[in-house]
Amino acid sequence: MAEKEATVYIVDMGRSMGERHHGRPMTDLEWAMQYVWDRITATVATGRKTATVGVVGLRTDVSTHWDPCLMFGTGTINDLEEESFSNISILFGLGQVLMPDIRKLRETIKPSNTNRGDAISSIVIAMQMIIDYTKKNKYKRKIILVTNGTGVMSDDNIEGIIEKMKEVNIELVVMYYGVKEEDKDSRKAENETFLRSLAEDCEGAYGTLEQAVSELDIPRIKVTKSMPSFKGNLTLGNPEEYDTAMTIPVERYFRTYVAKPISASSFVPRSGTEPGSQAPVKGDAEGDALASVRTSRTYQITDESAPGGKIDVERDDLAKGYEYGRTAVPIEQTDENVANLQTFAGMGLIGFVQKDQYDRYMHMSNTNIIIPQRANDYASLALSSLIHALYELESYAVARLVTKESKPPMLVLLAPSIEADYECLIEVQLPFAEDVRSYRFPPLDKIITVSGKVVTEHRNLPSVALKDAMSNYVDSMDFVTTNDEGQATDDLPIDESFSPLLHRIESAVRYRAVHPNDPVLDPSERLTEFAHPSEDMVKNSKSHLEKLMSIADVKKVPPKTKGRKRQRETEKPLSGLDVDALLSLEPKRTKISTENAIPEFKQTLSRAENIDAIHDAVQQMAKIIESQITHSLGHSNYDRVIEGLGTMREELVDYEEPAVYNDFVRQLKGKMLREELGGDRRELWWFVRKGKLGLIGKSEVDSSAVEEQEAQEFLAPN
Amino acid sequence: MVEDSYTREEENYEDEELDETSFKSVKDAVLFAIDISSSMLTPRPSPDPKKHGDESPASAALKCAYHLMQQRIISNPHDMIGVLLYGTQSSKFYDENEDDRGDLSYPHCYLYTDLDVPSAQEVKQLRSLASPADADDDVLQVLEPSKEPASMANMLFCANQIFTSKAPNFASRRLFVVTDNDNPHADNKGMRSAATVRARDLYDLGVNIELFPISQPDHEFDTSKFYDDIIYKTSPSDGDAPAYLQPDTNTSTAKGDGLSLLNSLLSSINSRSVPRRSLFSNVPLEIGPNFKISVNGYLLLKKQEPARSCFVWQGGETAQIAKGVTTLMSDDTGQEIEKSDIRKAYKFGGEQVSFTIEEQQALRSFGDPVIRIIGFKPLSALPFWANVKHPSFIYPSEEDYVGSTRVFSALHQKLLESEKLALVWFIPRRNASPVLAAMIAGAEKIDENGVQKIPPGMWIIPLPFADDVRQNPESTVHRAGDALNDAMRDVVRQLQLPKAVYDPSKYPNPSLQWHYRILQAIALDEDFPESPDDKTVPKYRQVHKVGCFHDPRNARTWAEELKLQASEMFGGSVAATSTLVKRGAKTEAAGEHPSKRVKVEDSEPGVEDEVKKCYAKGTVSKLTVAVLKEFLHAHGRATAGKKADLVDRVEQYFEQKF
């Protein structure tokens, strides 16, 4: 549970804050408010009721606040004091800030028509707000004053204020809006010194807005307190059976865990708001314009006798079960756990491996740390000996981990980690046999021919010159990281890298809340810092890169010829036998047969000597496809139809005969949608759309008469 | 619910190897074509009589098919598999009947298991055929070889028809031919050329023929005699394979006695069990500004989870999976809504902050897919803990940039040689969230059968962001003395895994295997297996031997040394403190405890004995909840529930043990 917070922002709204400086398009107040809004929305984003915020306006046109003098027990206010508390307004009393409050504050916070109002008095009011609100309870109390320091400030009873501030434990932060030294008038300089010493006397902080605003894009990291994901025994041997077994009570915590961006929920525009209207009115009405989405789930089974082939069944008539191949295996409620392996919690060491024999890419998961059980000196001593033994032997341990009774076992690798005052094991999951997919790829440093000969010089193998150029380039591109003292380190820049998606969404939500009508912003530079190599590195390695590029001689494949699989060269088996010659001898293959349509279509095309032959082949194929559609019971032939269509399209793109296909597919669409091919074939049309088997456009084949627009419209629904 | 399925979709993104350019469905169909000839049926006895190795090549092939079928039910539950026997006396092809002989389209072809997602019944049938010793006579009759040789052209066309009708539009269709006959139509030119034509048909259909040759005892299998005319260079289904990738005709032919034949056949079938599907294709690998090559990405390591449970309807003749249909409704009107109407909004300050779909997409977009190198670091800069998920594997492709392979190879060799890693900005797919990753080179690894285990290429290991790094919780450190470390070092040395390396293939996932083993038993109405074959359970006896081991240099074992150092460090009275049970008396400190069993347990030694005594007397229920919980926790049992549950669990524990 996070600590309760009470933070009061004092915003200087004096007339002088309406000025513009440093060529900025916005007023100084707007500029300063970037910082304030960032802080307030960060608090709102937590959604915590106990993170309370108050806002006080300084140098406002009117004065709206209650009697601050009660605090000092002076009883009544005399005129003088009355005056010193003028032009200060409580814009928002301490409490949880919600969206309507943000909208109201946005309306209210505008430069005023006066420069009157005492910053010190506003601090007194803020203190009073906090004291009234938090009483004697445990709170994190804070006052943040944002001002350009041009107003009159009175130092009456300043000691009393400082004392009180310390007594109730309020942190005072002064965010000072400075201008260049030479532009400062004496009062401003005086005020600056005064505010700085005030902040220091209160043991608070003093900073310039320039710096604060420039640091706005440094993402704030949410610190999450880890809970142990396993508490149990690390064992070597079986303590239930052997008295030589060792048992070390340990606890397991996350070392890394991917922070997920805040999740969005689904909504639909509320009925009554115009369905067609682009981006329904944002801002005030937004909250009400959306209705949440509910889901309902129904269950269907196949029943050939039913219309549509499916019938609905009740959830209550269904048993829980699993699929074994295509067999449905119901599992009765009583033995629901029968398919779960019985396991007991524990971390059992299986054996040890050499560090240098382990391939780092076998890491399968996030990492955890294993530390001795809290307040267990024995465990700490015992684990320490394991950690040191692993470290000295440059070994890792392999263990079987079950975090809770009945959970599936995992295999984990344990590595020692020894720091000056911290020792632990780092744990990561290892792959099981089933987790390894054996895809094979040819070697990269040699080529083995069909006959088994090893070739070391080939267009796909790098020459010595290329290897040298690569080596020089790689060596010139060292990524430099430095520590706090500016010395080069061997670390990866993990601490400086922030999850781009997480922080972008979060800041977009906060920005949208305050600026409902602005477009979404580009990600801040900080988030994309590592998207490109640094300019320095690029400059340093430029000559090496140029050399590498010229030796490598990499050529981009023009998009047009991409995927073109043949330049009319015939396919041959390994032996190089001319099968085409044999094919042409086949007496039966003059007409494309239904059962062997695709191969025969391809072969006919490859033999075609003129456009008529291609037309003829397409005609035959078209008939076969149409008949497959007509005779399809429900969707039984759809896959074959799609395969046939797809093959036709691919081949005719390759042969650059788009018109033939386009004519056919236009006719087919018409026939299908007019239900001329055995009834309702809309489902099939959906498959055609999904497979993108529409018209062949200009972008695919130059000679096509079909514009991209037309090709897209052709596939549009209905 | 929607939220749920939405995030699930996100996750699936990774699994689904998306190929937006293809109209084909990303599925795989494997049809085994197993030659049933008398030489294939002759057992090959093992020279070592102790081994049960009297396996015939045919039964080895059937066992492999059975093994693959079982494996694919787990790993690829939507992919198809079938078994076609050829050269058999009897014939079977769908509804064609043996009785109307003469009309048979495919004589001597016996479609034993139709090409489909296997059913439990089919698994059982194949199992009985694979172990003929337990099979019925009518099953064995199937394995009767024909007197006349089967026509290869006929078999290939039969396969063609099976693929055409049963697996239309599959992205991957493969015919696994297992035979010991390297020259089926040696003296018949006509039959031979008919076969090559039919093989060409299969090629044009997009079916890949993969040969699993078996050498005869006196004769090496020679692919040049016949099969080089049947098999094509590039596989049509693997268009993204590098052009020079050779098909595996020259992989080791299976030979030798039954057992080694079975093993090598298994190994080579396993290596081709899954078709290669890419995770992303032709993503530019940007080595420097304006210098790109293209690569494909693959998932070689991915946690295999059991399929989700589903709902089964048992009202009909056979149990059927009920398909869930989710409809989305507006909470406001109760009307059904289209997915396209849905807008995403974030909770903020008690209201919803919403974005249009376009804005939502814009927020997620950080540019086109890319793997961009932003610098190099020594390999040692990658800490062990800096990991968040499984890696991706990349391999060059010539499709977008000619010359990619040689450049990739040069980089691969350089990184291996200099032990460096590349730091990359990695966006695998359009709209995928970018990550900073370490790209490391991996060398090729070959197993004892000469089959590639780990391909050469580069691995992309996503790094945690600062947001993903957790702070270490507080912990106390007591450094052990040298003698204790030395004792532990002995243990570590003694208990190295074979070759001091972790080999995943030695450890099947026990819960996954058990899950499917039970499902199979339920589906076939068979008895449940008694106990799981769990390879992950440590070898306790071996550990025990080492634990007793006294190094002559060390007077004490680790356990004894620990006891000694602990009492020196913390004094005899400071026993291991308990966090679970707070009890006053700590009289039985570990140092004085007479038991030889030295444990650094969280429980006081008393608890163990106390519970045991009560169990013997039948008074477990008299113990306090705290004691019961402590006892259960120390033995890895759940500690949730009422007292009665705890008592039950404790009693169960002792019942199982004795």
Q: Searching chain B, which residue's CA lies closest to the CA of residue A517? A: B355
The angle at the Cα of A243, spanning A242 to A248, to the nearest 5 degrees, equals 100
**B307 falls in which pLDDT band (50, 70, 90)?**
confident
Neighbouring C-beta atoms of residue A539, cutoff 10 Å: 10
pLDDT the model gives residue A679: 83
What average pLDDT does this structure show over A451-461? Answer: 79
Helix axes B482-494, B558-570, angle to 10 degrees: 160
- Mutant choice from B68, B169, B639 vs A, greatest count of A C-beta within 10 A: B169
A366: chain B residues, CB-CB within 8 Å: 387-389, 464, 468
pLDDT tens digits, A286-344: 445 678 888 888 888 887 777 767 788 888 888 888 888 888 888 876 676 778 888 99
pLDDT tens digits, A548-562: 999 999 998 876 554
What is the domain class of B26-270 according to CATH?
alpha beta
Residue B429 three-state SS: coil
| A82 pLDDT more than 70 | no
Tokens of B314: 């048992």
Residue B460 three-state SS: strand
Using alpha carbons, select from B303, B457, B315 the residue that is nearest to residue A313.
Answer: B315
What average pLDDT does this structure show over B268-285? Answer: 80
Alpha-carbon distance A533 to A545, whole Å? 13
What is the ipTM, given to two decimal places?
Answer: 0.84
Cβ burial of A407 (10 Å; 0-12, 13-18, 19+) is: middle
Would you call A640 and B169 a contact, using CB atoms and an 8 Å cutoff?
Answer: yes
Active site residues of B: 24
pLDDT tens digits, A470-489: 999 999 999 988 877 878 88
- Mutant choice from A326, A332, A632 vs B, greatest count of B C-beta within 10 A: A326
**B548 falls in which pLDDT band (50, 70, 90)?**
low
pLDDT the model gives residue B17: 40
What average pLDDT does this structure show over A201-229? Answer: 83
Would you call B636 and A473 a contact, using CB atoms and an 8 Å cutoff?
Answer: no
Least confident of A390-404, A649-663, B264-278: B264-278
Find the helix or strand (DSSP H, E) in which B522 lies.
helix B510-523
Nearest beta carbon to residue B345 from set A264, A376, A649 = A264
| A663 pLDDT more than 70 | yes
B270: chain A residues, CB-CB within 8 Å: 438
Q: Which CATH number fits domain A5-214: 3.20.20.30, 2.60.120.10, 3.40.640.10, 3.40.50.410?
A: 3.40.50.410
What average pLDDT does this structure show over A191-198? Answer: 84
| Alpha-carbon dihedral sign for residues A175, A180, A183, A187 | positive
Would you call B479 and A384 a contact, using CB atoms and an 8 Å cutoff?
Answer: yes
Contact A296, B329 (CB under 8 A): yes
pTM here is: 0.84
Would you call B456 and A493 a contact, using CB atoms and an 8 Å cutoff?
Answer: no
Per DSSP, B132 falls in state: G
What average pLDDT does this structure show over A638-667? Answer: 90
List CB contacts of B200: < 8 A, sequence separation 6 or more: A571, A573, A579, A583, A599, A603
DSSP string, B325-371: EEEEEETTT--B--GGG-EEEEEETTEEEEE-HHHHHHHH--SS-EE
Amino acid at site A447 = I
What is the domain class of A230-256+344-434 according to CATH?
mainly beta
Neighbouring C-beta atoms of residue A421, cutoff 10 Å: 7
pLDDT the model gives residue A564: 47
Would you call B311 and A574 a contact, using CB atoms and an 8 Å cutoff?
Answer: no
**A657 falls in which pLDDT band (50, 70, 90)?**
confident
pLDDT tens digits, B189-209: 889 989 999 999 999 898 988
Using alpha carbons, select from A9, A128, A130, A97 the residue that is nearest to residue A58.
Answer: A9
**E strands, A377-523, where?**
395-402, 410-419, 422-429, 447-448, 454-455, 481-482, 488-489
pLDDT the model gives residue B134: 67
Q: Which CATH number fits domain B280-302+368-468: 1.10.760.10, 2.40.290.10, 2.60.40.420, 3.30.930.10?
A: 2.40.290.10
A441: chain B residues, CB-CB within 8 Å: 242, 245, 395, 452, 455-457
What average pLDDT does this structure show over A600-620? Answer: 87
Region(s) of chain A under CATH 2.40.290.10: 230-256+344-434
Amino acid at site A361 = Y
Per DSSP, A712 falls in state: H
**B82 falls in which pLDDT band (50, 70, 90)?**
very high
pLDDT-above-90 percentage for chain A: 30
pLDDT tens digits, B483-529: 888 888 888 888 899 999 999 989 999 999 999 888 888 888 888 88
| B581 pLDDT more than 50 | no
Q: Searching chain A, which residue's CA lies closest to the CA of residue B438? A: A492
pLDDT the model gives residue A71: 46
**B551 falls in which pLDDT band (50, 70, 90)?**
low
In the CATH scheme, what is the code of domain A579-714?
1.25.40.240
Contact B230, B199 (CB under 8 A): yes
Per DSSP, A332 falls in state: -
**B8 falls in which pLDDT band (50, 70, 90)?**
very low
Domain boundaries, chain B: 26-270, 280-302+368-468, 311-364, 477-570, 575-658
pLDDT the model gives residue B590: 37
| A80 pLDDT more than 50 | no
- Round the average pLDDT of chain A to a whole number and report it: 84
pLDDT tens digits, A421-450: 899 999 999 999 999 987 888 889 887 766
b/e burial code for range B412-439 (CB count within 10 A of at least 16 → b): bbbbbeeebbbbbbbbbbebbbbbbbbb
**A709 falls in which pLDDT band (50, 70, 90)?**
confident
pLDDT tens digits, B325-346: 888 888 777 778 777 777 788 8
Would you call B197 and A224 a contact, using CB atoms and an 8 Å cutoff?
Answer: no
| B573 pLDDT more than 90 | no
pLDDT the model gives residue A180: 57
pLDDT the model gives residue B549: 54
Would you call A417 and B384 a contact, using CB atoms and an 8 Å cutoff?
Answer: yes
Nearest beta carbon to residue A246 from set B400, B480, B558 = B558
| B547 pLDDT more than 50 | yes
pLDDT tens digits, B159-177: 999 999 999 988 889 999 9
Mark out the alpha helices in A202-313 (DSSP H runs).
209-214, 286-289
pLDDT the model gives residue B321: 84
In this complex, how many residue pairs, one in chain A and one in chain B, have their CB atoms less than 8 Å apart?
A: 875
pLDDT-above-90 percentage for chain B: 30
pLDDT the model gives residue A415: 97
- Mutant choice from B13, B285, B346, B419 vs A, greatest count of A C-beta within 10 A: B346
Contact A153, A191 (CB under 8 A): yes
Would you call B602 and A376 a contact, using CB atoms and an 8 Å cutoff?
Answer: yes
A461: chain B residues, CB-CB within 8 Å: 405-406, 409
Alpha-carbon distance B120 to B117, whole Å? 10
| B224 pLDDT more than 70 | yes
pLDDT the model gives residue B598: 43
A440: chain B residues, CB-CB within 8 Å: 248, 271-272, 276, 452, 455
Contact B470, A255 (CB under 8 A): yes
**B610 falls in which pLDDT band (50, 70, 90)?**
confident
Neighbouring C-beta atoms of residue A400, cutoff 10 Å: 22
pLDDT the model gives residue B258: 67
Neighbouring C-beta atoms of residue B365, cutoff 10 Å: 17
**B25 falls in which pLDDT band (50, 70, 90)?**
confident
Region(s) of chain A under CATH 1.25.40.240: 579-714
Nearest beta carbon to residue A530 from set B436, B497, B509 = B436
**B51 falls in which pLDDT band (50, 70, 90)?**
low
**B599 falls in which pLDDT band (50, 70, 90)?**
very low
Between A591 and B600, the higher pLDDT residue: A591
Would you call A102 and B391 a contact, using CB atoms and an 8 Å cutoff?
Answer: no
| B249 pLDDT more than 60 | no
Nearest beta carbon to residue A430 from set B366, B502, B528 = B502
Helix axes B120-130, B510-523, angle to 10 degrees: 100
Q: Which CATH number fits domain B477-570: 1.10.1600.10, 3.30.565.10, 3.40.718.10, 1.20.1730.10?
A: 1.10.1600.10
